[in-house]
Amino acid sequence: MTHWAMVIDLRQCIGCGTCAVACSQANNIKKNYWRKVIEFAGPQPPQRERFFLTISCMHCQNPPCRDVCPTTATYQRSDGIVTIDFEKCIGCSYCIMACPYHAREIFKGEVDFEESSDATTQKHFGQDELKDYTGVCTKCTFCLPRVEKGISKGLIPGKDKEATPMCVVSCSCGALHFGNLDDPESIVVKLLKENQHMRLSEELETEPSVYYII
At closest approach, how far in Å is the CB of 38 from ligand SF4? 10
Q: Which is nearer to ligand SF4, 120 or 213 (CB)?
A: 213
How many Cβ atoms from other residues are within 10 Å of residue 106's Cβ? Answer: 17
Among 65, 89, 137, 163, binds ligand SF4 (CB under 6 A): 65
Amino acid at 104: R
- Output phi, psi for 209, to 5 deg: -95, 10
19 binds ligand SF4 (CB under 6 A): yes
- Strands 52-55 and 36-39 come out as antiparallel
Choose which of 26, 73, 103, 147 interacts with ligand SF4 (CB under 6 A): 103
Binding mask 154-173 for ligand SF4 (x = CB under 6 A): ----------------xx-x
Residue 82 near ligand SF4 by CB under 6 A: yes
Greatest Cα pair distance in the chain: 53
Alpha helices (runs of H) in the chain, residue ranges in sequence order: 18-26, 64-68, 94-98, 144-152, 166-170, 187-194
Size of the site for ligand SF4 (CB under 6 A): 29
Residue 125 touching ligand SF4 (CB under 6 A): no
Cβ-contact 174, 12 below 8 angstroms: yes
- Rounded CA gap, 111 and 122, in Å? 10
Q: Is 81 in the site for ligand SF4 (CB under 6 A)?
A: no
Verify binding: residue 13, ligand SF4, rule CB under 6 A. Answer: yes
Site string for ligand SF4, 30-49 (x = CB under 6 A): -------x------------
Smallest distance from ligand SF4 to CB 129, Å: 23
CB of 115 to ligand SF4, least distance (A): 28
Angle at 33 (CA atoms; ends 32, 35), nearest 5 degrees = 160
Question: What is the distance between the alpha carbons of residues 43 and 48, in angstroms, rounded to a whole number?
Answer: 10
User: Binding residues for ligand SF4, per CB under 6 A?
Assistant: 13-19, 37, 52, 54, 57-60, 63-65, 82, 99, 101, 103-104, 139, 170-171, 173, 175-176, 206
